[in-house]
Amino acid sequence: MGVQPQVVRKWTLGLSGGKDRIAVIRTSGSISRVRSPLSVPTSGIIAEQLIEKIRSVRESKRYKAAIIRIDSPGGDALASDLMWREIRLLATSIPVIASMSDVAASGGYYMAMAAGTIVAENLTLTGSIGVVTGKFNLGNLYEKIGFNKEIISRGKYAELPAAEQRPFRPDEADLFAKSAEYAYKLFRDKATYSRSMPVDKMEENAQGRVWTGTDAACHGLIDAIGGMSRAVAQGFSFSCLGESSAAAEASLVSHWIFTLKGVSLCINP
């Protein structure tokens, strides 16, 4: 897709022109590892696509800071962890600020805690440090419609992902429970490290609990209250940029990222 400049008012977000760049990557929707063939092109956060865009910012060497704008209730645990890793790698090279929109919960918070600083609105719904797992049991439905399914497998648990026609066996339920417990502890411990908080204190804030931005600040889950303007100001501060570094022209460089020449706000639609 070709570059399509867009004019931005100079006073927007404190922008006034300059040569340095701040990347702003906007994410919205539920989290998946890959795009489903049944989903629309703009549906949700696709880990493989977002990771590619974050890497492009990290490898470009043009950006002085990055803002990850998050509006997500969560989704796939592995996808969230993969994006967490990529954001952490970005944060080792430039300051990264997570800016929470309406919702940044569960996987949305997982992404945010990879940033060096987290900013949320007063009424943002965040937290939900927890894990949900399970499977469908469609046995009664299949019986009602006369559908029969036979599975040929090798290995004790090989058929489990395809066995939606029956309930868990006790050993399978135990396996799922252990997997969920492992994923939960991984999530909680990363949040503990990110927020420099004792494990027992983080456990009080976790357990799937949802907080408003104001409450999250009181419990140490975020750093500041504010919107995009506050996040951009943090980007200026941490990257040692002055307001004169910001720009007034935006260029659409891909489906995901806009760049503002000067401090480029790389804002994806």
Residues with a catalytic annotation lie at 106
Q: What's the gap between Cα 20 and its chain centre?
A: 26
Nearest to 103 by CA among 199, 27, 194, 156: 27
Helix ranges, 70-149 (H): 77-91, 107-112, 139-145
Q: Are 268 and 53 in contact (CB under 8 A)?
A: yes
Q: Rounded to whole angstroms, how far apart are CA atoms 61 and 39? A: 34
Nearest CA-CA partner of 264 in 255, 241, 179? 241
